Each structure stands twice: as structure tokens, then as C-alpha cells.
């Protein structure tokens, strides 16, 4: 059955770069939503000048029905579009067939190619660049043979700018994938060593997770102190105190770690690339080393946009849980963000409706600061338990150095001086308490005068 919304032209003016795109989507039933693909296209630098949707079963040759492809061709001509962005997983044969119906030079881009293009534009660190390259190669591998066949059939070497294919192409892609994985593994080992060093220094590691545009970046700026502790990370656009949070997808790629301000505990907060709907398994796996910052944290803050519908929130919560619980062992605290956009009573309704997937969420507005104090308290209460300890130390220079060290690595609740001794009551991570005991045992008694 065919149907759906007819192609139409938007009022958007051409961009200076003349990257003009028509966005299109096919759904099996209901109405196609082009909101996210339009945002993705804009994030990639395209000026969206037209839209087309269709509701029908997938056509094996063209994805859309043949008549709808003709409609797409006419829309491209009217808008002078340079690309067609399709919010579906379009196979190589379908891509070839659609491209053959469009004016010469018009590029056909599917959802995942567009995402990879955005990732490539935002990859400013070696790790991010490697992950993008890995994703591109994993995307290309199953298509290499099909593209070679298409190029041969069309008698155009280098079809779609891919270059000539021969029997060595697949082997070369696999070799590159192996080399990239080896380098990413080396980077991951260094990052794990850095995480352990930070834990040994008394820091708890908290990760921000959630869908892109949920407000993670703004929340990080709200929670974080002014010290960027990860000099190797890509500078996050929201970390400058004078910067404005951008309402667009993928404002950063990679991870940024900063010290968060808490009452008692020293916390390092890591923000990373946001989740996005309908990502295939191969793409998630390509960014596994970035997700390690989430998987290996002591606590995960799962940020959700509370201004979205209950249905959208539920779907994203379920998908996020599937991703996180697969490998993550740390507790997860759900954060309902953007509550400043809700009408009176709407928050309570959403809490009730989503209690099954978010039983005890913290409601905040990262923009206004509402609820952030409660979130700080919740973070401290959910982190692994600290151990209480009392040490009685002789008054000496070495003891004072130990007292200073404990102040830096734990929370001192009491400090008393009497009879050439100092009594210290404090809380700290078990590893820090053990090190403090060891240091105390090696202290020499104070010299008598």
C-alpha cells in the first residue's frame, strides 16, 4: 500500500556553502517524523530545502515506490538540491538505483552515512578520529563487494567516487580494521591506567550518559568546577564560562573530564558523545572505547529530556538501559532535565507514567539550576560507601604531611591536638584508608624536648 505525505518545499534559504539537501523517509505504517534527520542534516552543514515521506512496505529495488522516487527527482530539481538524505538504512543496490533516477551529481546519503559524516567533522582527537575511521570501515566492509559489482555493471570505474575495486579490497579493509583496533586498545589501556590513578588519588568517577540534546553538556557545566583535569581530551564547547550551550546534535565528540563540586567527595565528571536513536550494533561497537568512560565509572547519571513526550522518554530510557546494563556495573541515577519547560503538574504525571523505567529520578533544570543541589546530594549518596577511620598520630612534620594528604584525599570530620598528638576522624575510599593506615604505621614518634 502506498501513501503518506507528498513532497513539499520548505522556506529555508540556501546556505553559503550551497550544501542543499532534501530529506526523505519511508515507514511501514503511520506517519514519518523528519525532525531528527533534519537536525542531523543541519548538524552536518546541510541546508534542508525539501521533505518527502512515504508510508508503504519497502521496495527491494528503490526503498520507496518507483512513483515516489520520480516525485523525489522532481523535488530535487525544483529545490536545486545537491544531496538526498534518506532516514533509512539504504542498501548499496537501492542507493545505486535511486541515484540513477536523480539529476547527475546529486549525492544519495543514508542515515548512517550522515552520522558518520558528522562524527568525522567533530573528531578532533586521535582517539575520536580512529573510532570514526573504524566505523566507516565496518560500514564499508559488507558493501565493498556490492559496490564493485555495481561499478562493473554501470561500467563506471570509481562509481560514486569509491575508486576501483578488486579482490584485494576486502582484505585491505580487514587489515585496516585490525590495525585501528590495536591502536585503540593501546589508548584504552592508557586511559584505564589514568582512571586507576585518579581512583587511587581519592576521586570517584561519575559519567554523564544519555541521548544527544538531552542537556548533558549544560548539566556538566552546572556541576563542574573550573578545573579541566583531562588535558588530552577535546575541549568541550560548553566548558568555557562565557560559552552558550548549543541546541544542536553532536556539539562534541570524544570525552571531557572535569572536577565536579560536591560537599564531601572529590568527583571527576566525564561527558561523552550522546546516544542517538536506531544506531546499529556495529556503530556502537566502533565507539566502545569512548563508552568505556561510562562502563567503568563509579556512578552513571542518565540524562533524559523531560520536555519530550512520555512515549519518547520511555523509548529512550529503555534503549539507554539496554546499552548501559549490558556492560555497566555501576549504579545508574536517572536525571529528568529541562523541567523548566514543563507546565504545572506535568512533571508529576511523567514521574508516575515512567516509574517502571525510572523509579526514582532527580528532576533538574541545568539551564536555571533548579534541582541541582538535590542532584549533588544524590550523587554523593549513590557513590560507593566510604570507610570511617580514626588515627592518632604523633606531632611531627611527617604527621602533618599525612594530615594534609588525608584532607586532600578524603573528608575530615574532626581534627584535635593534645599531648603531642593529633587525632584525626575522617571518611575516605577504602583504598585511601588503607594507605593512610600504612603511612601512619611508618611515622616515628615525636621527639621529646
Q: Where are the domains of the chain?
A: 8-119, 124-186, 202-382, 387-441
358 contacts 350 by C-beta, under 8 angstroms: no
CA distance 137 to 145: 13
How large a percentage of the chain has pLDDT more than 90? 33
Mean pLDDT of 299-316: 93
pLDDT at 238: 36
Cell numbers found for residue 31: 506517519
Which residues lie closer than 8 Å to 391 by C-beta, 6 or more apart?
Answer: 406, 423, 424, 426, 436, 437, 440
97 contacts 61 by C-beta, under 8 angstroms: yes
233 contacts 125 by C-beta, under 8 angstroms: yes
CA distance 437 to 58: 68
CATH number of 387-441: 3.30.70
Q: Please, what is the average pLDDT of the chain? A: 81
If we measure between CA atoms, which residue out of 305, 307, 327, 329 comes closest to residue 317?
305
Residue tagged 573550573 (cell numbers): 226
| Residue positions forming the annotated binding site for Mg(2+) | 217, 252
239 contacts 221 by C-beta, under 8 angstroms: yes
| pLDDT tens-place string over residues 226-276 | 544 443 444 333 333 323 344 444 445 567 888 887 888 888 898 876 777
196 contacts 207 by C-beta, under 8 angstroms: no
CA distance 138 to 186: 20
| Residue positions forming the annotated binding site for GTP | 210-217, 271-274, 337-340, 365-367
| pLDDT tens-place string over residues 78-112 | 999 999 999 998 888 898 899 999 999 999 999 88
- Which superfamily does CATH assign the domain made up of 202-382 to? P-loop containing nucleotide triphosphate hydrolases (3.40.50.300)
Cell numbers found for residue 177: 580494521
| pLDDT tens-place string over residues 123-153 | 777 887 888 888 888 888 877 766 556 555 5
Mean pLDDT of 360-371: 94
The fold for domain 8-119 equals: Rossmann fold (3.40.50)
pLDDT at 253: 55
If we measure between CA atoms, which residue out of 298, 250, 295, 290 comes closest to residue 274?
250
Number of helical (H) and strand (E) elements in the chain, helices listed first:
14, 15
Residue tagged 568525522 (cell numbers): 120
pTM comes to 0.66
Return the top range by mean pLDDT from 159-173, 211-225, 354-368, 433-447. 354-368
CA torsion, points 173, 179, 180, 186, in degrees to nearest 10?
Answer: 170
Q: What are the CA-CA distances from residue 131 to residues 184, 188, 194, 205, 208 (Å)?
A: 8, 12, 20, 23, 20
pLDDT at 102: 95
Q: Classify each residue of 31-63 as buried b or exposed e, where b means 16 or more C-beta atoms within 10 Å of its C-beta.
A: ebebebbbbbbbbbebbbbbbbbbbbebbeebb
334 pLDDT more than 50: yes
355 pLDDT more than 90: yes
Cell numbers found for residue 66: 518507483
122 pLDDT more than 50: yes
| CB neighbours of residue 171 within 10 Å | 9
In this chain, the answer to whether the domains covering 202-382 and 387-441 adopt an identical fold is no
| Cα distance from N-terminal residue to C-terminal residue, the chain | 98
| Residue positions forming the annotated binding site | 210-217, 252, 271-274, 337-340, 365-367
Amino acid at each position: 500500500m502506498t501513501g503518506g505525505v507528498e513532497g513539499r518545499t520548505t522556506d529555508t534559504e540556501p546556505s553559503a556553502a550551497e550544501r542543499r539537501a532534501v530529506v526523505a523517509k519511508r515507514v511501514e505504517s503511520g506517519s514519518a517524523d523528519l525532525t531528527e534527520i533534519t537536525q542531523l542534516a543541519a548538524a552536518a552543514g546541510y541546508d534542508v530545502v525539501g521533505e518527502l515521506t512515504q508510508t508503504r512496505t519497502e521496495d527491494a529495488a528503490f526503498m520507496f515506490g518507483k512513483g515516489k522516487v520520480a516525485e523525489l527527482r522532481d523535488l530535487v530539481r525544483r529545490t536545486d538540491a545537491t544531496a538526498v538524505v534518506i532516514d533509512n538504512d539504504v542498501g548499496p543496490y537501492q542507493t545505486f538505483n535511486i541515484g540513477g533516477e536523480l539529476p547527475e551529481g546529486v549525492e544519495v546519503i543514508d542515515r548512517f552515512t550522515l552520522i558518520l559524516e558528522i562524527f568525522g567533522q567533530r573528531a578532533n582527537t586521535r582517539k575520536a578520529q580512529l573510532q570514526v575511521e573504524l566505523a566507516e570501515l565496518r560500514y564499508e566492509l559488507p558493501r565493498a563487494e556490492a559496490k564493485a559489482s555495481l561499478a562493473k555493471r554501470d561500467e563506471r570505474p570509481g562509481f560514486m567516487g569509491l575508486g576501483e575495486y578488486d579482490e584485494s579490497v576486502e582484505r585491505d579493509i580487514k587489515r585496516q580494521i585490525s590495525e585501528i583496533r590495536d591502536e585503540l586498545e593501546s589508548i584504552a589501556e592508557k586511559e584505564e591506567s589514568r582512571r586507576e590513578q585518579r581512583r587511587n588519588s581519592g576521586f570517584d568517577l561519575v559519567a554523564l550518559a544519555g541521548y544527544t540534546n538531552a542537556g548533558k553538556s549544560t548539566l556538566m557545566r552546572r556541576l563542574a568546577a573550573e578545573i579541566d583535569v583531562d588535558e588530552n581530551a577535546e575541549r568541550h564547547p560548553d566548558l568555557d564560562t562565557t560559552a552558550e550551550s548549543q541546541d544542536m546534535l553532536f556539539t562534541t565528540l570524544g570525552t571531557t573530564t572535569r572536577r565536579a563540586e560536591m560537599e564531601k567527595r572529590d568527583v571527576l565528571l566525564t561527558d561523552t558523545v550522546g546516544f542517538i536513536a536506531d544506531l546499529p550494533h556495529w556503530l556502537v561497537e566502533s565507539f566502545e572505547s569512548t563508552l568505556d568512560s561510562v562502563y567503568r565509572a563509579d556512578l552513571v547519571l542518565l540524562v533524559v529530556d523531560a520536555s519530550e513526550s512520555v512515549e519518547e522518554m520511555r523509548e529512550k530510557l529503555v534503549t539507554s538501559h539496554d546499552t548501559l546494563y549490558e556492560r555497566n556495573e555501576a549504579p545508574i541515577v536517572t536525571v529528568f532535565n529541562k523541567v523548566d519547560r514543563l507546565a504545572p503538574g506535568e512533571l508529576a504525571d511523567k514521574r508516575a507514567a515512567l516509574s517502571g523505567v525510572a523509579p526514582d529520578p532527580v528532576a533538574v533544570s541545568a539551564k536555571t539550576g533548579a534541582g541541582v543541589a538535590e542532584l549533588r546530594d544524590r550523587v554523593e549518596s549513590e557513590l560507593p560507601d566510604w570507610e570511617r577511620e580514626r588515627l592518632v598520630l604523633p606531632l611531627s612534620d611527617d604527621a602533618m604531611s599525612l594530615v594534609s594528604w588525608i584532607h586532600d584525599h578524603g573528608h575530615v570530620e574532626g581534627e584535635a591536638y593534645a599531648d603531642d598528638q593529633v587525632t584525626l576522624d575522617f571518611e575516605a575510599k577504602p583504598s585511601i584508608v588503607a594507605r593512610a593506615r600504612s603511612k601512619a604505621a611508618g611515622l616515628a614518634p615525636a621527639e621529646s624536648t
